[in-house]
């Protein structure tokens, strides 16, 4: 059985910035530990737009450099942009400084391997082992007096340590390279007029303008909102966490479509022209059918949070649905194990392995447009035709760490109420990124969903 991780959650290490597990001191240790684990000589680091990113970037890159790694700083760039750069430049790994959908006061660090994919639980455990049990860095100076000029004697440990430091260089061109790569995926005939992109004042603020510039969107009425970041407004009343902002904008301005991203742009949700939300389940329904028609792959991986209607619709098309735990890296692991070419989450994390190695909001938006064109879909009728089961997600704030939550007792309560649902389910889990207990109830009858959600929330509060 895999040991419990102490620092890493479902999406890297995350905490309030400058406190807890997200201090410069820990970022430095994480940088050193990653290189000791990875043995890499070339690492690429990206970040979102949070005020604390520069602080953590300096510490993380210093830790990597102190272990001899050469570091390229890509600046503000989506997480999938680092994944793309790692593979394109044949780097040994990458890191992203971002707390994704969380508010500006949070931050996080997640690592990618040389394949551009997020690390497994076991790999993250190995990095933690280096942090908690490794010997001190041999390059560290002791408390005694030091010579003003290190000895140039070839046998001098100080001299060797002073030369065995990796270089840190800026690479601002990488975000443009990534965005042009995404633009080249877009079928010109699939481009739609009157589209808006909500950048959540996050990483996509740097990539969406390049995507527009290098596609037919530049010749049409294409708008961008929430792309004026100040370090404190990431995800603030915008992006996937506040879809009403985008939906209202689409309706008010009589637009055809709107795309919203999260802070690091590895997620996307869509507003149709009526201001209704096309979520990850509907996107998977569209892309699943499209990819099946292109390459015959008839498997789609979804998480335990996806609506049961998705399974029904895909089954009607001869496509098998596989479920996995929440988290896009678990989606990818299941895709690899099963040979599925598509997977994702209701929240908008979508991975199409033929095109990307991690959740990619911009890539998903482009593929969605391509699929709509090839399938001859009417975007405005997707939600009506999908006909999801009523579903309600309630979040309760945890008063203790998630490791101390008694899931055995909670599951007993779940079994007690599951008998009341003929065709539906109850699913309860702790969040891997926030101190929350998530309660999901799904059933054909909305009244029953609301009633059970309220009862369970009251019992578990």
13 is written with which tokens? Answer: 């290490």
Catalytic pick among 100, 205, 215, 306:
100
Strands 106-112, 93-97: parallel, antiparallel or unpaired by DSSP? Answer: antiparallel
Give whole-number Cα distances, 109 to 3, 11, 253, 425, 453, in Å.
20, 8, 38, 34, 34
Nearest to 316 by CA among 283, 279, 281, 285: 285
Three-state secondary-structure class, residue 179: helix
Query: 102: which DSSP letter?
Result: S
Closest CA to 259 of 246, 274, 275, 245: 246
Identify the H or E element spanning 320.
strand 320-324
3-state secondary structure of 5: coil
CA gap 407, 413 in Å, rounded: 10
Q: Which long-range contacts (CB under 8 A, 24 or more apart) does 416-424 make?
A: 417/452, 417/455, 417/456, 420/448, 420/452, 421/448, 421/452, 423/308, 424/308, 424/389, 424/448, 424/449
User: Could you tell me the two tokens for 311?
Assistant: 């399974």
100 is catalytic: yes
Hey, which residues are catalytic here? 100
């Amino acid at each position: 059985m895999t040991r419990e991780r102490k620092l890493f959650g479902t999406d890297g290490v995350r905490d309030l910035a400058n406190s807890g597990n997200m201090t410069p001191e820990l970022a430095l240790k994480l940088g050193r530990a990653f290189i000791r684990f990875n043995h890499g000589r070339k690492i690429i680091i990206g970040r979102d737009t949070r005020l604390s990113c520069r602080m953590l970037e300096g510490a993380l890159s210093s830790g990597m450099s102190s272990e001899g790694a050469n570091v390229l700083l890509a600046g503000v760039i989506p997480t999938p942009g680092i994944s793309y750069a790692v593979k394109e430049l044949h780097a040994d790994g990458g890191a992203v400084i971002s707390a994704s959908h969380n508010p500006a006061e949070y931050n996080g660090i997640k690592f990618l391997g040389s394949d551009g994919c997020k690390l497994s639980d076991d790999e993250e455990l190995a990095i933690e082992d280096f942090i908690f049990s490794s010997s001190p860095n041999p390059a560290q100076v002791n408390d005694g007096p030091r010579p003003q000029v290190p000895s140039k004697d070839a046998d001098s440990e100080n001299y060797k340590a002073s030369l065995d430091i990796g270089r840190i260089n800026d690479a601002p061109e990488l975000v443009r390279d990534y965005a042009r790569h995404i633009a080249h995926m877009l079928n010109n005939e699939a481009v739609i007029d009157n589209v808006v992109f909500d950048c959540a004042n996050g990483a996509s603020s740097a990539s969406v303008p390049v995507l527009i510039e290098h596609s037919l969107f530049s010749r049409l009425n294409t708008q961008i909102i929430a792309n004026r970041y100040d370090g404190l407004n990431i995800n603030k009343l915008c992006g996937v966490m506040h879809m009403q902002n985008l939906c209202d904008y689409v309706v008010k301005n009589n637009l055809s479509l709107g795309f919203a991203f999260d802070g690091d742009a590895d997620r996307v949700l869509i507003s149709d022209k009526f201001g209704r939300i096309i979520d990850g389940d509907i996107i998977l329904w569209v892309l699943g059918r499209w990819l099946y028609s292109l390459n015959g792959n008839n498997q789609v991986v979804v998480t335990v949070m996806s609506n049961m209607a998705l399974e029904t619709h895909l089954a009607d098309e001869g496509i098998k649905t596989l479920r996995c735990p929440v988290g896009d890296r678990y989606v990818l692991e299941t895709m690899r194990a099963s040979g599925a070419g598509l997977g994702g989450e209701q929240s908008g994390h979508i991975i199409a392995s033929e095109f990307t190695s991690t959740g990619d909001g911009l890539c998903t938006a482009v593929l969605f447009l391509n699929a709509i064109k090839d399938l001859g879909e009417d975007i405005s009728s997707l939600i009506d035709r999908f006909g999801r089961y009523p579903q309600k997600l309630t979040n309760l704030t945890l008063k203790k760490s998630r490791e101390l939550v008694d899931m055995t007792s909670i599951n007993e309560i779940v079994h007690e109420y599951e008998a009341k649902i003929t065709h539906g389910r109850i699913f309860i889990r702790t969040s891997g990124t926030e101190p929350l207990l998530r309660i999901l109830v799904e059933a054909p009858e909305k009244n029953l969903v609301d009633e059970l959600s309220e009862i369970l929330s009251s019992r578990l509060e």
